[in-house]
Amino acid sequence: MKIIKNEKMIKRNATIGNYLSLGALVVLGVGMYISLKRADLFPYALAALVGGFIMTQVGIYIGNRFGRSPRPDEKLDAALKGLQNEFSMYHYMSPVAHLMVGPAGVWVLIPYHQRGQMTFKKNRWQMSGGGFMQNYMRIFGQEGIGRPEMEGEGEVNAVRKYLAKKMEEAEVPAVNAMLVFTSDDVEIEAADSPVPALKAKQIKDFFRQKAKEKPIGQTQLAAVRAALPEE
């Protein structure tokens, strides 16, 4: 499998995440100091505490994706290791973060690192279990799964529009989305999900099986690759 990755963007965002986290500590410290020593400046202390909390959340969000190894792109690469060379994995090189192109077609991969039980029923995703830390982080907005089917639809449309600008309309292939849960401590019940939802260890076999169904021709596949950056 060929991997095309925007290393410069990954390093830049990792640096931004580190600075945000460090800056958040400083801002929170200032807020605490003011609240303890200068009660007359309480509005400023409150503003610093709120600002520091927001910076912390943003720093964690960026750090989880770009600063901590294994990153989502590294987990996907490991899960797909061994696929034949006809497959290409694009990380941060297209309108979406992770795009797989190959004999199985064009797929947007949306990674999630949640643990516990993931269930799709009544047209909504529900989370349960995962332990104390999972539940703690969920309260602070770091682990909620949200509406991934809507995210997938948005990313699929973004890829379609991108390809339509660079290819003949008749050449633009179907674009699909997949939810990939990268934790080993996850169970998935998603038979009714509008998009496939798999564990990371399952996706290689999934793409091999899809390739046997020949959903995309070689000419169309070559046109897609030509529309995407090489490095």
The 10s digit of each residue's pLDDT in 35-85 is 998 888 989 999 999 999 999 999 988 988 998 889 999 999 999 999 999
- The pair phi, psi for residue 107, each rounded to 5°, is -130, 130
Above 50 in pLDDT, residue 141?
Answer: no
| Domain final position from 67, 91, 110 | 67
The yes-or-no verdict on residue 204 having pLDDT over 60 is: yes
pLDDT at 116 over 50: yes
- Single out the residue of 148, 108, 150, 152 nearest to residue 126, CA to CA: 148
Higher-scoring residue by pLDDT: 31, 130 = 31
CA atoms within 13 A on the CB side of 166: 17
Same domain assignment for residues 87 and 61: no
Chosen domain end from 11, 41, 67: 67
Q: Which of the four pLDDT bands, split at 50, 70 and 90, describes residue 90?
A: very high
Q: Both 43 and 130 in a single domain?
A: no
Give yes or no for residue 133 having a pLDDT over 80. Answer: no
Show which of 11, 42, 67 is a domain's final residue.
Answer: 67
59 and 85 housed in the same domain: no
Q: Which domain holds residue 168?
A: 72-227
pLDDT at 102 over 90: yes
pLDDT score of 221: 93
How far, CA to CA in Å, does 41 sit from each of 9, 35, 44, 47?
A: 40, 7, 6, 10
Instruction: Judge if 107 and 128 occupy the same domain.
Output: yes
* Same domain (yes/no): 30, 44: yes
Q: Comparing 230 with 199, which gets the higher pLDDT?
A: 199
Centre a 10 Å sphere on the Cβ of residue 203 and count the other Cβ atoms it contains.
22
Query: What pLDDT is recorded for position 231?
Result: 65
> What is the model's pTM?
0.86
Q: Domain check: are 12 and 87 in the same one?
A: no
Structure tokens at 110: 């949306």
What is the enclosing helix (H) or strand (E) of 116? Answer: strand 116-121
Q: Is 171 found in the same domain as 105?
A: yes
**Statement to judge: residues 120 and 175 lie in one domain:** yes
